[in-house]
Amino acid sequence: MQEITSLFQIAKILRELLGRFLPDEQLVDFCMSLINIGAIFMIISLTAVVLVYAERKVSAFMQRRSGPNRVGPKGTLQSVADMIKLMAKEDIMPTGADKWMWMLAPMLLFIPAAAVFVVFPFDDKAIFADLNIGIFYFIAISAQSVLPFLMAGWASNNKYSLVGGMRTVAQMLSYEVPMVLSILGIVMLVGSMRMSSIVAAQEQVWFIFLQPIAFVVYVITATAEINRAPFDLVEGESELVAGPFTEYTGMRWALFFLAEYANLLAVSAIATTLFLGGWNGPWFPGWVWFFLKVGGMIFLFMWFRWTFPRLRIDQLMAFGWKMLLPLALVNVIVTGIGMYIYNFFS
Amino acid sequence: MVKTETYTLNMGPQHPSTHGVLQVVLELDGELVIQAVPHMGYLHRGIEKLAESRTYAQFIPYTDRLDYVSSMGNNWGYCQTVEKLMGITVPERAEYLRIIMTELNRIASHLIFMGSLAIDLGASTGMMFGFRSRERILDLFDMACGARQTYSYIRFGGVSADIPPEFIPELERFLADFPAMLAEYHELLTGNEILYHRLKGTGVISGQRALEIGLTGPALRASGVAYDIRKVEPYGIYDHFDFSVPLGQVGDCWDRYIVRMEEMKQSASIARQALDQMPEGQVMAKIPKVIKPPVGDVYHSIENPRGELGFYIVSDGSTKPYRLHVRRPSFINLQVLNETCQGLLIGDVVAVLATLDSLMGEVDC
Amino acid sequence: MLGRGLLKGMRVTLKSFFNKKETLQYPEKKLPMPARFRGGELDLDTKKCIACGLCSMACPNHVIELTTGTNEAKKRYLKSYVYHSGLCLYCNFCVEACPTNAICWDKNYENSRYFQEDLDVDCLAIAEQKDTLKGRDDG
């Protein structure tokens, strides 16, 4: 069954179809790339819409409420109603705001969130670009999402936003380092940074069993990178109203929101690829397993958000630098020693 | 040398976590608080002045609206003050009913404290859980007097009406379910390491300073001073019940949180004992139709969930008070905000404000 | 173990995830109000009212405005009865003060209005309208 419905087969069918209408081989390749880009954008937008609804339902169920259940069957069209409402809102710009920086910040936040999707292995040979520096590309591009927060915070001409922007930079930069080190353990085990080789190396045993500490460190740092509770003091609603996003309304705020959910999908996909075996799995096609595992990780992140209170800024910095960084370093050392002993005995 | 400057941040009257309309003007150096000056008065309604143009009985609904979360306590304090001035004795059954209602109200008020603390620190699930339990208590009150928040149930000489027959089984059900609910909250909030580290060690008020500034209620007991009016000068029939008063050691936010959680357990035990001991009988004494207290003044205070609520009435012999002053615990407890917050971070200001548990209706009167 | 409290908290929320939901689907389902519920507008029974004015005197906030007159048989009757619902504290003093139980709450809590003038309820007119309707039904 995996052979018939895998994405590779679907791509082959599409390619044959196009080959019949288009004369040139390169034109067919170009059209396939456009279809791939379209598919990825569709996944991102669909995800944002679905995740908004899922977040509200999960949070409601955990608080013994029902969540949205009026708009559409069981409330599924709630996100559509929200988008329409946001598009109809008045666009206000604060006086004294630095116009171009203020307007560019949401867009610059959305672009890295979308650009990392090219290296995700949705299925066997179904990656848009199987770069040989796959995971390194992800780390580099996702580090770019620090700057738009600072831009938004500074350009809004608002003290709350500035404090929020400063906190964001401190938080996101401090948690990049342990995240990279936790990923380093995986790269050492596989010997390559290519995403498809990482998934292929997990055919027998998933890396979560070989690198449990790295998994824990990754999950914690990923929560900090995407600014979700318990690390959401950037937009800590009860302290700073909304941090860097305070002055954004309507569609601009919707872009921030979408970028946040795209980021959530991105880190869940990376966690699935690195630790949970990617698209490996019996009976079902690869992409079904991929999305099931990604869904499980997303539920885990939502579970964290609705259970835990927020950390204070100094506790957050202390935790990142004094607890997670040494833990990640120790993991790298232990992995190295373990690999040497394994190679020595086999 | 780099020259730094402090900046002023306004946690304005409209803010998700100032428990009402309170403005706190923060002077910050980076994230460190140099000054935290509260500005109140946004909810001032002139209740003390209104009292001078209402008869004594007509003022009872206004006392409901002081600390609107613990209305039974406010009613009781005012009624006991006037009864003290006029020398009225209350029948036994009414005394027991008053105690049951006030202790249930204490549980409801502390549940609001717990919910607001949880949501201010980011754990919004805690708020939903707390308010869900509070609904059961409000349903009980709805059954007894028809209102959910501003009761006017306790009147001069007793209570306004006897409890309906379905009240006691429902109360027994609630008291049976309550320990399990409290255990759930302890598992969700008290055991949580993040909450512990947020609250432990921040906002320390020493016992000596608390006494100097006039702090009362759970905030005072968390600082180690064992002063609970129900034990020191028992009013009503509190001396018939066996309960303990939880004390803290250090006086930080964590102690103030734990003291209130323990007080809820004690209140449930008092309500249980009162339900068991309650006799049959009248619920209202024979009082004159027109309340005209003798000339003189009186001060009487009770232990409200937020502290010592006191009423000072000056009577000139007519049907309306000459002067009525309310000693409001939230108002006096709020003074300590500035000195406690100096040297803390912004996040701690929110925690201190939540654990001081000031209600703006009472602060502004 | 470090973090055990966090895991216990997570177990509480997960258990809550599968529990029964507390939401009431209003307005399809409405909660029944208890018998002593104080809410809505005052419902005046003109047959029981003796125009004593005790309700107006008991009210802390001058919410009830009534005028009375004496007819030929030297009996007092009610000329007008206006209830300013916007000023009302819902304290129940008027209902308790009435010696004949002529007023009670109509328990209809869905009574918001668009204009401030509509908050002044003419209870006498409503009572008379109800009487004429009942008369038409009976006769």
Q: What is the pLDDT of residue A1?
A: 44
For an interface test with C, the pick among A220, A231, A299, A307 (most C C-beta atoms closer than 10 Å) comes out as A307
Closest CA to A39 of A142, A118, A141, A133: A118
Residue A74 DSSP class: G
Closest CA to C93 of B281, B62, B47, B89: B62
Residues in C touching B193 (Cβ below 8 Å): 2-3, 5-6
Contacting residues of A for B198, CB less than 8 Å apart: 309-312, 315
**Contact at CB, A308 and B194, closer than 8 angstroms:** yes
- What is the distance between the alpha carbons of residues B60 and C92, in angstroms, rounded to a whole number? 11
The predicted pLDDT at position B230 comes to 92
C77 min Cα distance to partner chain B (Å)? 25
One DSSP character per residue, B111-169 reads HHHHHHHHHHTT-HHHHHHHHHHHHHHHHHHHHHHS-SS----EETTEESSPPPTTHHH
CA distance B215 to B357: 12
Band (A223; pLDDT cuts 50, 70, 90)? very high
Looking at beta carbons, which residues of chain C come within 8 Å of A68? none
Q: Measured between CB atoms, which of B122, B126, B132 is closest to A232?
A: B122
Best A308, A313, A314, A315 residue to mutate vs chain B (most B CBs within 10 Å): A308
Contact present, C68 and C52 (Cβ < 8 Å): no
* Residue B249: DSSP 8-state: S
Neighbour-count burial for A175-204, b at 16+ CB within 10 Å, e otherwise? bbbbbbbbbbbbbebbeebbbbebbebbee
**Residue B302 DSSP SS3:** strand
A242: pLDDT strictly greater than 80: no
Q: What is the mean pLDDT of each run of 10 residues along chain B (365 residues)?
A: 84 74 88 90 91 92 91 93 92 94 94 91 87 92 90 91 92 94 90 89 91 92 92 90 92 93 94 93 90 92 93 93 94 92 88 90 88
Instruction: Return the partners of chain A (3 or more C-beta pairs < 8 Å).
Output: B, C
Which residues have CB under 8 Å from C13's CB, separation 6+? A62, A303, A306, A307, B125, B188
Give the pLDDT confidence score for residue C139 in this predicted structure: 52
Q: Do C20 and A64 touch (CB under 8 A)?
A: yes
Where does the pLDDT of residue A142 fall: very low under 50, low under 70, confident under 90, or very high at 90 and above?
confident
Q: Which of B289, B264, B253, B83 is nearest to B182 (CA)?
A: B264
* Interface residue of C23, C25, C26, C29 to substitute, partner A, most A CBs within 10 Å: C23
Model confidence at C127, pLDDT cuts 50, 70, 90, reads confident
Q: Measure B203 CA to nearest chain A CA, in Å.
A: 14
- Cα-only R_g, chain B: 21
CA angle, A149 then A153 then A157, to 5°: 160
Q: Can you tell me the distance from the alpha carbon of B336 to that of B207, in angstroms, rounded to the nearest whole number?
A: 12
ipTM above 0.90, yes or no: no
CA distance A237 to B120: 8
Cis status of the peptide bond prior to B321, with omega within 30 of 0: no
Residue B93 belongs to what H/E stretch?
Answer: helix B92-120
* Overall average pLDDT of the C120-134 stretch: 87
State residue B273's pLDDT score: 94
Residues of A in contact with B348 (CB under 8 A): 312
Please say if the pLDDT value at position A5 is more than 70.
Answer: no
Look at C3 and B193 and tell me if their CB atoms are within 8 Å. Answer: yes
Q: Which one, of A277, A295, A285, lies nearest residue A10 by Cα?
A: A285
CA distance A163 to A38: 38
Residue from B8, B197, B344, B352 whose CB has the most chain A CBs within 10 Å, to mutate: B197
CA nearest to A301 within chain C: C10
Give me the residue from A58, A64, A306 closest to C22, CB to CB: A64
B75/B70 Cα distance (integer angstroms): 9
- How is residue C34 written in tokens? 């208890």
pLDDT of residue B365: 83
- Residues in B whose CB is inside 8 Å of some CB of A read 7, 9, 15-17, 31, 118-126, 128-129, 132, 188, 192, 194-195, 197-198, 345-348, 350
Q: How far apart are the first and last CA of chain B?
A: 49
CA distance C21 to C24: 9
Residue A268 burial (10 A CB sphere; 0-12, 13-18, 19+): buried
Smallest CA–CA separation between A274 and chain C, in Å?
24
B8 DSSP β-pair partners: B27
Residue pLDDT, tens place only, C96-116: 999 999 998 988 888 888 998
Which residue in B160, B164, B187 is closest to C9 by CB distance? B187
- In chain C, residues with a C-beta closer than 8 Å to the C-beta of B58 are 58-60, 93
